[in-house]
A and B are shown apart, each in its own frame.
Chain A
């Protein structure tokens, strides 16, 4: 084995090496956090959709996101119910209302879903068992993963207390708990029947719904029905998706139509640039400090390519040993962030690979900028 000059050069100066690793780790953690929040945002925005019991989904054509949806006439939904192959259709009402914290008396916006209790529209732990309860007037199910600002609802309920509070100024009772979780759009959720929903929103037109669930008979060709519906509804005020299409539609809104997705992408780029600056700084000083040594190697007959290799190897070594600690540090921070926000922030293979590749590119780019300095190593200058 040849003498590993790049590693010896790096490890010879322990303090500089430590600073380099710390800098890269910092940049990596920065990128991980931004990507983590961004992914969590996209994941959480589709959390509710993933629980929907249905095959096809109808939204208003103006609707980019169910969190801020436009409404459409429920006649559009019932109008297709007779098509062969469709078992049933059922609407969902979505709105946000003021929830009064029963302990403190202050109010907070909460997401309210109104569903027909005859169908299991939402496949969520806690909904099916409690579906009978919301048939009673002014009874709601409360999301136990809602932010704590809504009050100690879950604790009180589990202790057997009767939990009563006001939503939009109307007295309601919590009849059960379910688990959905928060998203960037919603700090908390409640589910109730369509009839109760309209009681909470007396100004809403009962004929306008937010989403339509279409359940197909077993064994029918879903794609065929989707195509039929799409041609039938072309130029109309509604659009129909299958499950994957719905998820893409929802994510696209957050990725492209809101500043939130952009902000986190920008944050990732910032981390990347910070990383380039740090690694460049380290590699450049390293080359500059060793210029006479590199010139000596050239005089001995080492090629420019060899020296280029040394600098790039240094870059790759830095990338790897800076990346590894960032993964464990990030997992720690993800854990803390997930606990604090209730958002699904977690390490994923995609993120791990993305950041690793970004680190590699970051170090290689810095290497490419700093090798320019190598050319100033003139073997004729050292005599």
Chain B
């Protein structure tokens, strides 16, 4: 299959099974999906329908079994661990829990992401982290430990960490689930604004109907099948 430059994700006939023997159960059925560069796509669907499973496959966090899954031009079906780790570095992840390192300050947490792409001096990395925290509105929380930040602030640090290395692809799994509606909205808007600035593609899994309007496209997952693929009403 030929890879086109503006196609960030190309999925063809992707199926996924969990378990072995008689416990083997199909979770994803013949998924077909293409995400173009710069798109913001939301995926909804009932709990247990397979959204997280699909996201972890796209994010190279889980080995895909059959079909074809190309992320950033790299085929992930049948690839090795080393290539998977390499792909992970080009993706920004935002988790439901913020998953910050408790022993590091906000700035150090962000810096951990920069250090993976080790061509910056520590002073440059530090300045870049601070600038990123300022961009998510946390300029006054740079040296705070996660322990002393609110839920919304922690999630904003997580966004800064995910975006600081300018990833082409951002994956977010229910990023607002643990937040009240106001901070949830803020967080998503920050994500949207920064991703647009950086030209990143975003795939967000969410239950939150109030944020659907930021998407260019909405996907719906049901029982492991990607069913509807509709454009939201113009806002």
Query: A2, B115: Cβ atoms under 8 Å?
Result: yes
List of B residues within 8 angstroms of A12 by Cβ: 102-103
Which of B100, B101, B102 has the largest count of A CB atoms less than 10 A from its CB? Answer: B101
Query: A382, B116: Cβ atoms under 8 Å?
Result: no
- Is residue B112 contacting chain A, with contact meaning CB distance below 8 A? yes
With A9-B103, A382-B99 as known contacts, state yes or no: A299 contacts B93, CB within 8 Å.
Answer: yes
In the bound assembly, the distance between CA atoms of A297 and B61 in angstroms comes to 12
- Is residue A78 contacting chain B, with contact meaning CB distance below 8 A? no
Query: A3, B99: Cβ atoms under 8 Å?
Result: no
List of B residues within 8 angstroms of A5 by Cβ: 101, 103-104, 112
- Is residue B86 contacting chain A, with contact meaning CB distance below 8 A? yes
Chain A interface helix/strand/loop/mixed = helix
Query: A383, B52: Cβ atoms under 8 Å?
Result: yes
With A3-B104, A380-B61, A383-B96 as known contacts, state yes or no: A301 contacts B56, CB within 8 Å.
Answer: no
- Is residue A300 contacting chain B, with contact meaning CB distance below 8 A? yes
With A383-B56, A383-B173 as known contacts, state yes or no: A303 contacts B85, CB within 8 Å.
Answer: yes
Query: A297, B112: Cβ atoms under 8 Å?
Result: yes
Query: B108, A299: Cβ atoms under 8 Å?
Result: no
In the bound assembly, the distance between CA atoms of A298 and B93 in angstroms comes to 11
- Is residue A302 contacting chain B, with contact meaning CB distance below 8 A? yes
Within 8 A of A (CB), among B83-128: 85-86, 88-89, 93, 95-97, 99-104, 108, 111-113, 115-116, 118, 122
In the bound assembly, the distance between CA atoms of A221 and B209 in angstroms comes to 102
List of A residues within 8 angstroms of B88 by Cβ: 298-301, 379
Query: A8, B103: Cβ atoms under 8 Å?
Result: yes
In the bound assembly, the distance between CA atoms of A135 and B130 in angstroms comes to 91
In the bound assembly, the distance between CA atoms of A368 and B213 in angstroms comes to 51
Within 8 A of B (CB), among A283-310: 290, 292-293, 296-303
List of B residues within 8 angstroms of A104 by Cβ: none
Within the complex, what minimum Cβ distance (angstroms) separates B1 from chain A? 25
- Is residue A353 contacting chain B, with contact meaning CB distance below 8 A? no
In the bound assembly, the distance between CA atoms of A303 and B111 in angstroms comes to 17
Which of A2, A8, A303, A383 interacts with B55 by CB under 8 Å? A383
In the bound assembly, the distance between CA atoms of A63 and B99 in angstroms comes to 71
Which of B99, B103, B116, B118 interacts with A296 by CB under 8 Å? B99
CB < 8 Å A-B pair total: 72
Query: B108, A3: Cβ atoms under 8 Å?
Result: yes
Nearest A residue to B145, CB-CB: A12
Nearest B residue to A306, CB-CB: B116
In the bound assembly, the distance between CA atoms of A28 and B186 in angstroms comes to 54
Within 8 A of B (CB), among A1-22: 1-3, 5, 8-9, 11-13
Which of A3, A13, A382 interacts with B111 by CB under 8 Å? A3
Chain B positions 180 through 219: 1 when the CB is less than 8 Å from some CB of chain A, otherwise 0: 0000000000000000000000000000000000000000
Query: A301, B61: Cβ atoms under 8 Å?
Result: no
In the bound assembly, the distance between CA atoms of A298 and B173 in angstroms comes to 17
- Is residue B62 contacting chain A, with contact meaning CB distance below 8 A? yes
- Is residue B152 contacting chain A, with contact meaning CB distance below 8 A? no
Chain A positions 346 through 383: 1 when the CB is less than 8 Å from some CB of chain B, otherwise 0: 00000000000000000000000000000000011011
Nearest A residue to B122, CB-CB: A1
Within the complex, what minimum Cβ distance (angstroms) separates B202 from chain A? 15
- Is residue B224 contacting chain A, with contact meaning CB distance below 8 A? no
Query: A300, B116: Cβ atoms under 8 Å?
Result: yes
Chain A positions 299 through 334: 1 when the CB is less than 8 Å from some CB of chain B, otherwise 0: 111110000000000000000000000000000000
List of B residues within 8 angstroms of A3 by Cβ: 104, 108, 111-112, 115
List of B residues within 8 angstroms of A290 by Cβ: 101-102
- Is residue B38 contacting chain A, with contact meaning CB distance below 8 A? no
Nearest A residue to B113, CB-CB: A300
List of A residues within 8 angstroms of B95 by Cβ: 296, 382-383
List of A residues within 8 angstroms of B56 by Cβ: 379-380, 383
- Is residue B50 contacting chain A, with contact meaning CB distance below 8 A? no
- Is residue B45 contacting chain A, with contact meaning CB distance below 8 A? no
Within the complex, what minimum Cβ distance (angstroms) separates B75 from chain A? 18
Within the complex, what minimum Cβ distance (angstroms) separates A153 from chain B? 64
List of B residues within 8 angstroms of A303 by Cβ: 85
List of B residues within 8 angstroms of A292 by Cβ: 97, 99
List of A residues within 8 angstroms of B173 by Cβ: 383
In the bound assembly, the distance between CA atoms of A13 and B34 in angstroms comes to 46
Nearest A residue to B93, CB-CB: A299
Chain A positions 269 through 295: 1 when the CB is less than 8 Å from some CB of chain B, otherwise 0: 000000000000000000000101100
Query: B116, A302: Cβ atoms under 8 Å?
Result: yes
Within the complex, what minimum Cβ distance (angstroms) separates B101 from chain A? 5
Query: A301, B86: Cβ atoms under 8 Å?
Result: yes
Which of A3, A8, A298, A380 has the largest count of B CB atoms less than 10 A from its CB? Answer: A3
Query: B116, A293: Cβ atoms under 8 Å?
Result: no
Query: B99, A8: Cβ atoms under 8 Å?
Result: no
With A1-B122, A383-B173 as known contacts, state yes or no: A301 contacts B115, CB within 8 Å.
Answer: no
What are 27 A-B pairs at a CB distance below 8 A? Answer: A2-B115, A2-B122, A3-B104, A3-B108, A3-B112, A5-B101, A5-B104, A8-B103, A8-B108, A11-B103, A292-B99, A293-B99, A296-B99, A297-B112, A298-B88, A299-B59, A299-B93, A300-B93, A300-B112, A300-B116, A301-B85, A301-B88, A301-B89, A301-B116, A379-B88, A382-B95, A383-B59
Binding site for B on A (CB under 8 A): 1-3, 5, 8-9, 11-13, 290, 292-293, 296-303, 379-380, 382-383
Q: Top 8 closest A-B pairs, CB basis?
A: A301-B89, A12-B103, A301-B88, A296-B99, A380-B62, A383-B173, A380-B61, A379-B61
